[in-house]
Structure 1
Amino acid sequence: MTDTAIAWDTYSRQRPERRPVNARGDTTWFNWTQYPDHGPGAELLSLRPGGRALDLGCGKGGNAAHLATLGMRAVGIDISCAQLSAARERWAGAPGLELHQAEAVTFLQDSAETFDAMYSVYGALWFTDPAKLLPTVRERLRPGGRLVFSQRPPVEGCYGCQASYIPRGPDDDPLVVKRWDYEPDVWERVLVEHGYTDVRATVLAAPPGRRTVGTLIVSARA
């Protein structure tokens, strides 16, 4: 097991499970942000029933499972065995849902499949070098296919490759993974440079209350 996989297995054990139902009483739903019942949904992917979507860093599978219930062919990949075990336990038998343990760039390079949409919710697009990931994503997106991803906006002055720390026990040093933080206009420029079109990057404000950190949402077409 790689150090990265160990780090995300550790993270998985610290994350709460997705609620049984959301505020509307739905058992599945799509959530781009770090806040419950906030922001847009699966419509950002512009998918039709039967469309094929790839979740780059699916975690415990909630977003991919929701797409499957809408009639999509949803594929989720994650490097963490613990995340995938939780996803398989909760969403066992969901029609149209496939889950694979894989690193994003390797999966795309080894696959001959193409997809109508790919997405990342605080996932691989945040934690993989875009110079390596964006070209492989574009190669596996069908013409006009959409790439959408979300993550926290960057801390002012801290741009590019940054260290992200995953805590362990009180006597253990935290685990470290790399993440890539850019301002919206920089993400737009990076995507255009890699051949994407219809590029848009915006920060969705946090819901009213004490929390002030919004969500960066980026979309583009192949």
Structure 2
Amino acid sequence: MTDTSVAWDTYSAQRPERRAVNARGETTWFNCTQYEDHGPGVEVLGLEADARVLDLGCGKGGNVAHLASLGMHATGVDISPAQLRAARERWAGVPGLDLRQMEATAFLRETADAYDGVYSVYGAVWFTDPALLLPAIRERLRPGGVLVFSQRPAVEDCYGCQASYIPRDADEDPLVVKRWDFEPETWERMLKENGYTDVRAGVLAAPPGRRKIGTLIVQARLTP
């Protein structure tokens, strides 16, 4: 299997930078779908301005920087040095932003911090075995804390651990990383089995136009 930090560094080089401003003219914003200016914003987390929040697989840091700009104590974790380098360059002036290079489950096991919210937008929850990650997140959530994640919906009859391919040059084989795909009701069941409550999972339709693939959005909370 491909070294995951190398794979995500390669992916980082292929991804366009986040726009300077969104459709509303904002320089920071929270986006939880694969489409620009579509879907719920920071309200999907349901957190107060001074909350302690963790982004698992923060990439180039756009979402976690926005939360820090709102006054939250915002930590972003990513395994890719290239992704974090880009995040630090762009969001260097945002107070309260803490960026760490580490694999998600390793960070959760090593940190002593507790969080009001943990989220993953096309991030570590998609690319980490949920049997390992969901219990680790639960241990770091405060009572009443929220877990939110989004990713592409599973392809029908293609569930569980799947292969994702990251292309390279024409004469090189693609890099391979694992991802975990499940239907909404399966995510709901797994979260409840891991002690989460108030679990909701569903697929938000794509914006009007030619695109058809929606976004799976999952929300769960720990009962106080």
Per the shorter chain, which TM-score range? over 0.9
Spell out the pairing of 1:139-150 with structure 2 (5 A cutoff): 139-150=139-150
**Which structure 2 residues correspond to residues 153-168 of structure 1 after superposition, within 5 A?**
153-168=153-168
- How high is the TM-score relative to the length of structure 2? 0.98
Helix, strand or coil for the counterpart of 2:113?
coil
* Residue in structure 2 matched with residue 23 of structure 1 by the alignment: 23
State the match for 1:176 in structure 2.
176
For 2:78, the equivalent position in structure 1 comes to 78
In the aligned structure 2, how far is the partner of 1:187 from the partner of 1:30? 23
> Could you say what secondary structure the match of 1:16 adopts?
coil
How far, CA to CA, are the matches of 2:163 and 2:109 in structure 1? 26
Other structure's SS at 2:125 match: helix
Unaligned segments of structure 1, at least 5 residues? none
1:126 alignment partner, SS class: coil
> How far apart, CA to CA, are the structure 2 residues paired with 1:114 and 1:45?
16
Report the AA paired with residue 128 of structure 2. Answer: T
| Residue type of the alignment partner of 2:11 | Y
1:38-57 correspondence runs (5 A): 38-57=38-57
The Cα of 1:50 is off from its aligned counterpart by 1.2
Q: Report the alpha carbon displacement of residue 47 of structure 1 after superposing the two structures with TM.
A: 1.0
Which residue number corresponds to residue 219 of structure 1? 219
Distance 1:74 1:112 in 2: 15
Write out per-residue CA displacement over residues 160-180 of structure 1, whole angstroms, 9 at most, x where no aligned residue.
Answer: 000000000000000000000
- Give CA-to-partner distance per residue, 1:53-92, whole Å, 9 cap, x none: 0000000000000001111010000000000000000000
Give % identity.
74
Secondary structure at the aligned position of 1:145 is classed as strand
Q: 1:200-211 to 2 correspondence within 5 Å?
A: 200-211=200-211
What pairs with 1:95-174 in structure 2 (closer than 5 Å)?
A: 95-174=95-174
Alpha-carbon distance in 2 for matches of 1:27, 1:75? 19
Aligned equivalents of 1:98, 1:135: Cα separation in 2: 23
Instruction: Name the count of aligned residue pairs.
Output: 221
Per the alignment, in what secondary structure is the counterpart of residue 67 of structure 2? helix
Matched, 1:7 2:7: yes
Could you list the runs of 4 or more consecutive aligned residues of structure 1 that deviate by over 2 angstroms after TM superposition? none
Measured after TM superposition, the shift of residue 93 of structure 1 is 2.2
Q: State the SS of the aligned residue for 1:54.
A: strand
Cα shift at 1:125: 0.3
Question: What's the offset of the Cα at 1:101?
Answer: 0.1
Q: Which amino acid aligns with 2:164?
A: S
Q: CA deviation at 1:187?
A: 0.4
Structure 1 residues 84-110: Cα deviation after superposition (integer angstroms, max 9, x where no partner): 000000000211100000000000000
- Secondary structure of the 2:208 match is coil
Aligned partner of residue 119 in structure 2, secondary structure? strand
What is the one-letter code of the residue matched to 2:207?
A: P
Q: TM-score if structure 1 supplies the norm length?
A: 0.99
Displacement of 1:46 in angstroms is 1.3
